[in-house]
Chain A
């Protein structure tokens, strides 16, 4: 007799907590799927968490949003930034990690110690001088300025290095005997063997670049180059502001992340040692 009651209480508590965690997300999505006025008339009941009962209303706010702003351009920008940063970050950091894992060269120990020491520099605090550097390089208000600072990452180099150290020596030696040089060994043998490391770095750098806000906000002045995150605050402050349209752009910008988190869930936790974007 005692057990079922306990179980009911347990599930009630779990469901209540789950509601606290998901209701903002649900409200965001359903509010993008109803007319502006309904958002506020629905506020007092369960209807607040339901989309418009008339499905023909659903895409109305999205249509208006796409008419008012160049959303396609923002999506394109975000995708370009994320893809180039993710690809660049995999190649550049893997190469450096490979050098530390496999080569004996002058200054290796000092360089490696220096890199680990640099891990303590909080990048968020040096934004001002990063900006003056971008200014001196003459890349302000270019896509390059958004991309370049996010590519090299000490934590990713370290991750690749540790992974490459675990690749058996014999594999590499046998290719060397067959006449392969370092370049072909790296691209043809080592990299294809490193899918878990690539997936981890790829996932983490995709999420970081997709969510990047402050840096693109600082270096870009042309709205046509804005990524979605910057476009969001821009749309949210461009009069007239419609709640359903704001919720639409929030939803649009979140969809790729939902897909990435579902596809790459097993790689997400590896990022603990790196610097998260938020309080993660």
Chain B
């Protein structure tokens, strides 16, 4: 065997486990989803799969639950990004300063990140219990009427936004903090000489220099926000009145609980394309950052 062939063989031996697993659990399921999206595949009748072309896609856009799930996820994204990213930036600015006990505050702000999504969902389910939860008890003590939170169609999604932002902000705070510490001290010195005040310093120096970090954080938050499923699944089961039904959760329900593989696959294709496009934009943006 010549050297070239030997190297080819060695390379593919090193690649084999990863390629096989990626093929089985990423590539093949993706292609299957595209194929099934054009069929009426029902899990319990695997021998009776018929091509129905665009029927699923037409049905999806007439499905009020799917439309509702798109509206819900839009609301979630629009609220969670400014709240979570804003909170993260605020926290980073607060602790980006020499101060006694700073490490304590840093750990405190970061602590919810350590909890899994299932844990935060169950925990907040108890805290937000309308009649005997801690939150309503606190509100009552400061003179605010108890709120229904997750059991109200108007409050449920907003509540999930706050729980999610509470959990995730600490992680992004650390990224902002790294960004802040990368801003050279001379820039601020120069500003001082020019006599800028605190707000000018923040608005004209800190904020523009944090822009690449902020954009990266916002887009990664956007992508993961699109895939929201655990919080509504555990806390509200998509309710009340589908107010917290999300696209990924609906894909799970139609494909897994209702066993309509074809129908769920069509939603996978549509929603996968949406997230794919956003991810593409993200990789463009972060590549520009590198240059």
Contacts and interface: CB of A to CB of B under 8 A. Distances in A.
A152 B17 CA distance: 8
A120 B225 CA distance: 15
29 contacts: A13-B94, A18-B104, A22-B111, A24-B120, A43-B134, A96-B17, A99-B14, A103-B7, A115-B22, A118-B26, A121-B30, A122-B227, A122-B279, A125-B227, A126-B30, A128-B261, A129-B30, A129-B261, A137-B24, A148-B24, A229-B119, A250-B122, A250-B123, A253-B119, A254-B116, A257-B116, A261-B114, A272-B175, A279-B165
Contacts of B125: 236
Contacts of B255: 127-128, 131
A129 B32 contact: yes
B84 A128 contact: no
Interface string B265-290: 10010011001100110010010000
| SS of B interface (majority) | helix
Contact of B168 (A106, A149, A275, A280): A280
B285 to A, nearest CB: 12
Contacts of A257: 114-116
B230 interface: yes
A93 B165 CA distance: 32
B29 A126 contact: yes
Question: Which 9 A-B residue pairs are closest in the complex by CB-CB distance?
Answer: A128-B255, A105-B11, A152-B21, A96-B18, A103-B11, A129-B29, A18-B108, A99-B14, A211-B116
A18 B124 contact: no
B268 to A, nearest CB: 5
A232 B122 CA distance: 8
A233 B120 CA distance: 12
Contacts of B279: 119-120, 122
Contacts of B101: 11
B120 to A, nearest CB: 8
A239 interface: no
Interface string B20-35: 0110111111101100
Interface stretch (B67-75, B146-154, B216-224): B216-224
Nearest to A48: B134
Interface in B68-104: 80, 84, 91, 94-95, 99, 101, 104
B119 A232 contact: yes
Contacts of A268: 171, 174
A182 to B, nearest CB: 5
Contacts of A189: none
A25 B112 contact: yes
A269 B280 contact: no
A277 B231 CA distance: 12
Nearest to A232: B118
Interface of B: 7-8, 10-12, 14-15, 17-19, 21-22, 24-30, 32-33, 36, 43, 80, 84, 91, 94-95, 99, 101, 104-105, 108-109, 111-120, 122-127, 132, 134, 137, 141, 164-168, 170-172, 174-175, 178, 216, 220-221, 223-230, 233-234, 248, 251-252, 255-256, 261, 264-265, 268, 271-272, 275-276, 279-280, 283, 286
Contacts, number: 255
Interface string A90-105: 0111011011000111
Contacts of A253: 116, 119
B248 A133 contact: no
Interface in A227-261: 229, 232-233, 236, 243, 246-247, 250, 253-254, 257-258, 261
Interface residues of A, number: 84
B24 A233 contact: no
A186 to B, nearest CB: 7
B118 A233 contact: yes
Contacts of B95: 14
B22 A118 contact: yes
A258 B175 contact: no
A151 B32 contact: no
B97 to A, nearest CB: 9
Given A17-B94, A43-B132, A129 B36 contact: yes
B268 A273 contact: no
Given A44-B141, A122-B279, A132-B261, A96 B268 contact: no
A80 interface: no
A137 B157 CA distance: 38
A133 B165 CA distance: 34
Nearest to B99: A10
